[in-house]
Chain A
Amino acid sequence: MSNFDDIIKNLQQELRKGTLVLAVLSQLFEKHYGYSLVETLNKHGLQIDQNTLYPLLRRLDKQGLLEATWDVSETRPRKYYKLSELGIRVYNELKNTYYNSHTVIENMMKEVE
Chain B
Amino acid sequence: MKLLERYLLQIERYLPRKDKAEVSDELRSLFLDQLEDYDDTDQTKEDRLKDMIIEFGSPLQVAMKYRNDKPIILRELEPFLFMVFKIISISVPSALLFVTALGVYSDNIDVSTGFLVLELLKAIPSIFMALVTALGIVFLIFAGLSRALDPNKIEDDFHPDYLPPIPVDVYKVSMFEAIIGTAGGLVFLYVFNYQPGLIAVYYDNVREPLLNSNFDKILPFLNVSVSLTMLLQGYYLFKQSKSKLTITFEAVLQVFSGIILILLSQADIFNDIIINGFNIEIIPTLFKIGMIVGAVAAFIGAIVKIVKVFLAKEKR
Contacts and interface: CB of A to CB of B under 8 A. Distances in A.
Interface of A: 33-36, 50-52, 54-55, 58-59, 70, 76-79
Given A33-B33, A35-B33, A50-B56, A79 B25 contact: yes
B30 A50 contact: yes
A12 B56 CA distance: 21
Interface stretch (B58-66, B187-195, B255-263, B265-273): B58-66
Nearest to B23: A58
B62 A77 contact: no
Contacts of A79: 25-26, 29
Given A51-B56, A51-B57, A76-B32, A34 B26 contact: yes
Nearest to B67: A55
Contact of A35 (B37, B61, B65): B37
Contacts of B56: 50-51
A84 B152 CA distance: 35
B34 interface: yes
On chain B, which size bracket covers the interface? 10 to 19
B30 A35 contact: yes
Interface in B58-97: 61-62, 65-66, 68
Contact of A33 (B23, B29, B62, B66): B29
A77 B29 contact: yes
A33 to B, nearest CB: 7
Contact of B65 (A36, A51, A76, A78): A51
A55 B29 contact: no
Contacts of B283: none
B117 to A, nearest CB: 55
Given A51-B61, A51-B65, A35 B34 contact: yes
Given A34-B26, A77-B25, A79-B25, A55 B33 contact: no
Contact of A54 (B26, B32, B34, B61): B26
B30 A58 contact: no
B29 A76 contact: yes
A58 B34 contact: no
B166 interface: no
Contacts of A54: 23, 26-27, 30, 65-66
Given A51-B56, A55-B66, A58-B23, A78 B29 contact: yes
A34 B37 CA distance: 13
Contacts of A78: 29, 33
21 contacts: A34-B29, A34-B30, A34-B33, A35-B30, A36-B33, A50-B30, A50-B56, A51-B56, A51-B57, A51-B61, A51-B65, A54-B23, A54-B27, A54-B66, A58-B23, A58-B66, A59-B68, A76-B29, A77-B25, A78-B33, A79-B26
Contacts of B26: 34, 54, 58, 79
